[in-house]
Chain A
Amino acid sequence: MEAVVVDNVTKTFRIATDPSDSLKERILRFRRTNYEEFVALRPIDLTIEIGETVGILGHNGSGKSTLLKCMAGILTPTTGEVRVRGRLASLLELGAGFHPDLTGRENVYINASFYGMSRRDVDKVFDEIVDFAELAQFIDEPVKHYSSGMYVRLGFAVAVNLEPDVLLVDEVLAVGDEAFQNKCIGRIRQFQDEGRTIVFVTHDVETVRHVCQRAIVLDHGHMVIDSHPSKSIRVFREYLHAHTPLHAAAELSDSPVLFTDVRVSHANAGTRRHLLPGEGFTIEIDVETTHPVDQPVLAVEVCDSAGAPIFRIDTDGLGTPLGRIEGRRTLRVDISNVELLDGEFPLNLSLSDRSTGRIFDWREGSDSFEVANPTKATGLVAFDVTVKEQ
């Protein structure tokens, strides 16, 4: 049975090109304000079943928060309709509605009443809220004295203790310390076990992999994919990649040897772009010389998604020095057993002179390979793990 139905929803914002909110301006230019239309959501259709946990991935400006606000009923869709079954709680910003001068206790009651909860309903769960937020000592202090972590804890504690049927969460778990994040994830897992429906908006791929059964990717208001998290995450990464300008190739005018083309491929490249953990791949490097080069050294670096090197080797270190290169040649690098987990891994390549150390040419981050991890494991490196009872 469906819990949330997003039925052909679009959202167009009208942005005044000459913003003026004054009465005078309005009267002077009665109905002549110039607007620019910004389409935040193209027609979106989405059905979420009761008990599902769905992640919404997207860049800033992809429309993911707009979609969540439409689901929460804060924004009204321009066309289409959102229908929800049961009680909905949204955590769009932790501590939204907290008044700094009031105590934690007073704020809990006010916050809960935004969801239509009566004082008596809150009394029943008040201790649990305080317990969960770990704020027993401070609950009668004004919240302006709270740290941002405490704020986050109280906000989350209120929302999850309101017994929602559908919980909408936007990016908020990134705040708070790690211990509390784990606690939140634990609570979300409990919600999942109880069969509640959860919708997550985030750009943290790992959280989505970790907790969601389904993920959708939004880009410029379009729904790009609605699928299993690992598949959606891969698509999300590809989009990330496509929108990032490629590094400009180095200009090395008088170098005797230059890279002319680099190709990264693997055995199953015909059917899928990514590798599976443990598979290998090949780099083919086309070079062209203007003068013969006697003792070149090729170095290969593998970086993590942030660009920090995680592996480096060169032909000298491998004990397989390259011979003299002349004319057009192709160098082939085979890398096997890539025991990495999910991610896109940029490559740095360089060709230098062994005796002088002069760098003839290099490419930094222009080439990459991708690993998609079919398991639920997270992190960087893939290990084989088995658990059994002794």
Chain B
Amino acid sequence: MSESVYTTARASASELRPMARRRSVVEHLRELGGYRELLANLTRKELTVRYQHSMLGFTWSMLQPVFLLIVYTAVFAILGAGFEKFSIWVLCGLLLWTFVATTLLTATTSITENASLVGKVKFPRAVLPLASVAGALVHLALQSIAFAVVLGVTRHRVDWVYMPLVPLAIVTATLVVAGIAVIIAPVNVYARDTGHLLDLLVLGWFWATPILYPFFLASTTLENNGISRWAQMANPFTPIVISIQRAIYGSSTEIGTDVSLIPDESVWWYAAWLGAIAAVALVVLAAALRLFDRAEVNMAEAL
């Protein structure tokens, strides 16, 4: 208390406010905004703790895509499957999916693993799943740097016209994932086996997204069964992943047929899809925060 002398005036000046009460989504967001320092600290804590006793530290995150690239190149060379620069194609979707899967799996247990905290300290609990999102985002950033280096070394030419789609796709994916994270974290408080269910869900979702196979392949199969190829777009991660593939991999490569791997559309077409998904994701996130607010009331005692 050296520099300032405390007086009761400070307390007297503030108003008497309830300690626990339901808040609107806007109030919730404002409160979370006030705790952005906590969000940053928890994210930093997560990352520091994970790499504390490893010699390479963050390099591990960056080595992962390089290693994946080598594995996929080798495996598909041996199997003789895939198409030109298949490993680069795969990485476009795989790095994004790693982000999605990591976030969802860590967010599920984000509250239950911090049970002691929730029972002893007051803070907006939604910070916990959001810190999982932020942590995974940092990983994605590191891996993207490594991927960029790989692209540079292999002299791969990205499609610069479509490149602005990449950050847009990542923002959209973050919004989608944040909404899901905010919903599943409190669910796991009341039903502890949510994680198992989620494992299956993430696996299924992975194969439902054109990451290891190109969009057109699924389109052909769907259309042979009388379903529109655009049904794929109902999966929010499909437009996100194909936007990244379009920007980084490009659409020039075709195999056998005259159908490109991904829809041969303008950058605006892709941007419109991303925008639409981001808009829906925002609504979902708002609803998720509202649900979270209700779950928060009894969270400390349910743990």
Contact = CB atoms under 8 A, between A and B. Distances in A.
Contact of B20 (A77, A116, A196): A77
| Most A Cβ at <10 Å: residue of B40, B120, B197 | B120
Contacts of B18: 81-83
A84 B122 contact: no
A195 B20 contact: no
Nearest to B42: A110
Contacts of B4: 163
A254 interface: no
B193 A23 contact: yes
B117 A96 contact: yes
Interface string B30-45: 0000110110111001
A76 B23 CA distance: 14
Interface in B177-228: 190-194, 197
B8 A106 contact: no
B19 A86 contact: no
Given A23-B193, A194-B6, A83 B45 contact: no
B194 A74 contact: no
A101 B197 CA distance: 31
B154 interface: no
A13 B303 CA distance: 12
B12 A1 contact: yes
A99 B49 CA distance: 9
A114 to B, nearest CB: 5
A93 B119 CA distance: 10
Contact of B45 (A96, A106, A116): A106
B294 to A, nearest CB: 11
Contacts of B123: 114-116
Contacts of B8: 50-51, 194-196
Contacts of A166: 11
A119 interface: yes
A85 B15 CA distance: 5
Nearest to B13: A86
B193 A22 contact: yes
Interface in A190-218: 190, 194-197
Contacts of A92: 120-121
B301 to A, nearest CB: 6
Nearest to A5: B16
Given A5-B16, A82-B18, A110-B41, A23 B197 contact: yes
B192 A22 contact: yes
Contacts of B45: 99, 102, 106, 110
Contacts of B15: 85
Contact of B14 (A5, A86, A97, A110): A86
A102 B40 CA distance: 15
Interface string A52-73: 0000000000000000011111
A196 B6 contact: yes
B299 to A, nearest CB: 9
Interface string B139-153: 000000000000000
Interface residues of A, number: 57
B244 to A, nearest CB: 34
Contacts, number: 145
Given A86-B11, A194-B6, A195-B6, A114 B121 contact: yes
Interface size on B, as a range, is 35 or more
A74 to B, nearest CB: 5
B37 A116 contact: yes
A285 interface: no
A110 B35 CA distance: 11
A361 to B, nearest CB: 52
B297 interface: yes
Nearest to A7: B18
Interface in A121-146: 124, 128
Contacts of B155: none
A379 B35 CA distance: 46
B35 A101 contact: no
A163 B6 CA distance: 8
| Most A Cβ at <10 Å: residue of B3, B5, B11, B14 | B11
A72 B52 contact: no
A278 to B, nearest CB: 39
B2 interface: yes
B41 A128 contact: no
B49 A101 contact: yes
A197 B120 CA distance: 20
B20 A73 contact: yes
B301 A75 contact: yes
A190 to B, nearest CB: 8
Contact of A70 (B19, B37, B48, B118): B19
A85 B11 CA distance: 6
Given A21-B191, A21-B192, A99-B49, A85 B16 contact: yes
Interface of A: 1-3, 5, 13, 21-24, 26, 50-51, 69-77, 81-88, 90, 92-93, 96-97, 99, 101-102, 106, 109-110, 113-119, 124, 128, 163, 165-166, 190, 194-197
Given A83-B19, A85-B12, A166-B11, 8 more contacts: A72-B19, A85-B17, A110-B42, A113-B35, A113-B37, A113-B40, A113-B41, A195-B6
26 contacts: A21-B190, A22-B193, A23-B191, A23-B192, A50-B8, A69-B300, A70-B19, A74-B120, A76-B297, A76-B298, A81-B19, A82-B20, A85-B14, A85-B17, A110-B38, A110-B45, A113-B35, A114-B38, A114-B123, A115-B123, A116-B34, A116-B35, A118-B37, A163-B4, A190-B1, A194-B1
